Amino acid sequence: MAPRKRSGENRDLNKIPNLYRKLDKRTNKASFQYKDPRDGTFYGMGTDEEIAKIKAKQLNAAIYAQLAQSDTDRIMAQHPAVKQYGIAFEKWIAEYLRITDERLSTGDIKPNTHRIRAHLAARLGEMFKGKGIQSISVKDIAQGLKAYHDQGKARMAQSLRSTLIDIFAEAIQAGEIENNPASMTKNKPAVVKRSRLTYDEWSKIFLAAEDLNPWVQNSMLLALLTGQRLEDIALARFKKSADWGPALIAYRKRENHPIKPYAFIESDFLHVPQQKTGTLLRIPLDLRLDCLKLSVGDVVSRCRRHAVSQYLIHHTQNGFKQSVGDPVHLNTVSKGFAKARGKSGLTWDGKTPPTFHEQRSLAERLYREQGLNTQTLLGHKSQKMTDVYHDVRGAEWLDVVTK
């Protein structure tokens, strides 16, 4: 049964919710009231019907919007997964890893870059797990990176930021987002805590390596005499084989190939196609480091003494995973240096001990004292070098001048 209509009231008023007309029996005049749907309280709206209708509509819009937002917040609080905006970030990470695999297969990025980005992307996936990609703000990213800075991991924070910029860039290409919030964060400088290596320290480490496998000392000598990076030294061979040309072509085209274009010796030069930069260097075998009283050629001869091998840095003993003459993996070369460093008894006052790579910096300083153009030796390009040497864009060998 429908409720009885009360005398003096009109609930219709053109069906505007919560607006009522009330008739005063004493004066026989009508007034209007608004009933708050949140708690049932009545509020006077005056005697002008049109004004009362306008006010009631405005109140309904504001109050019902508030009620809807309240219900939304309550429901989303009970179901955190609903808070996502856009694709879930961890799902996009899976897609990003697929894209990164594809870029590796086409030669767009190098294996080491692929390995590092895959590792960092997994970390970032955990950092923003449960968030939609569109809901990740600049503040979210800044706070996440700050946590690493506060732990003294500034380099890691820089690497995470760089990878995150790439992740969002790919998301923009895919239409998942429109802006790159990671690029809006500040790239805070990292204080280098790794110690530089002095020549006296190098000499002590070299002597400590005397009881280790011969390739440890040989790799150290090559690093100091040539100033080249670890990977270039580990790949170096005594001569160029037929596989070198196709490997270089594949490298330039960023195509997959079973081997990398390695350094080799030919016509009294050590030819070094730098793995990191692609620069082609020719280092004369008679390049001599005065403090050691040795030349590059002397070190090459020393590398031939213990076993027959294609590689300058090679194993001289059979082992579980290697045979005599096999190349020494670059990580093993690095560990060999670290082992000799540990045997030397040197300490660096709380700083990170110098790594194998620090020999490159030491070589630059020692050769600069001899007056050598170290910028050429290290394969760095700048305006100064362009003024002295014409830029051949990696199409020809760049000779290191010894005088």
- Residues taking part in catalysis: 229, 276, 357, 360, 380, 389
The structure tokens listed for 335 are 């560990």
Query: Is residue 343 classed as helix, strand or coil in its secondary structure?
Result: helix
Q: What is the DSSP letter of 178?
A: S
Whole-angstrom CA distances from 285 to 171, 226, 270, 282 are 50, 10, 6, 9
Closest C-alpha among 176, 191, 205, 197 to residue 99: 176
| Burial (CB count within 10 angstroms: exposed 0-12, middle 13-18, buried 19+), residue 325 | middle
Distance of CA 308 to the CA centre of its chain: 41
8 Å CB contact between 2 and 15: no
Task: Specify whether the CB–CB gap between 378 and 360 falls below 8 A.
Answer: yes
Sequence-separated (6 or more) residues with CB below 8 Å from residue 222:
228, 233, 236, 296, 299, 303, 312, 313
How long is the chain? 403
Residue 132: HSE in the Cβ half-sphere, 13 Å Cα cutoff: 12
Angular region, 254: left φ>0, alpha ψ -120 to 50, beta rest: left
DSSP string, 100-143: HHHHHHTTSS-HHHHHHHHHHHHHHHHHTTT-BGGG--HHHHHH
Name the 3-class secondary structure at 341. Answer: helix
**Beta strands per DSSP E along 184-317:** 264-266, 269-273, 280-284, 288-289, 294-295
DSSP state of 96: H
Sheet of 280-284, strand order? 264-266, 269-273, 280-284, 398-399
286/223 Cα distance (integer angstroms): 15
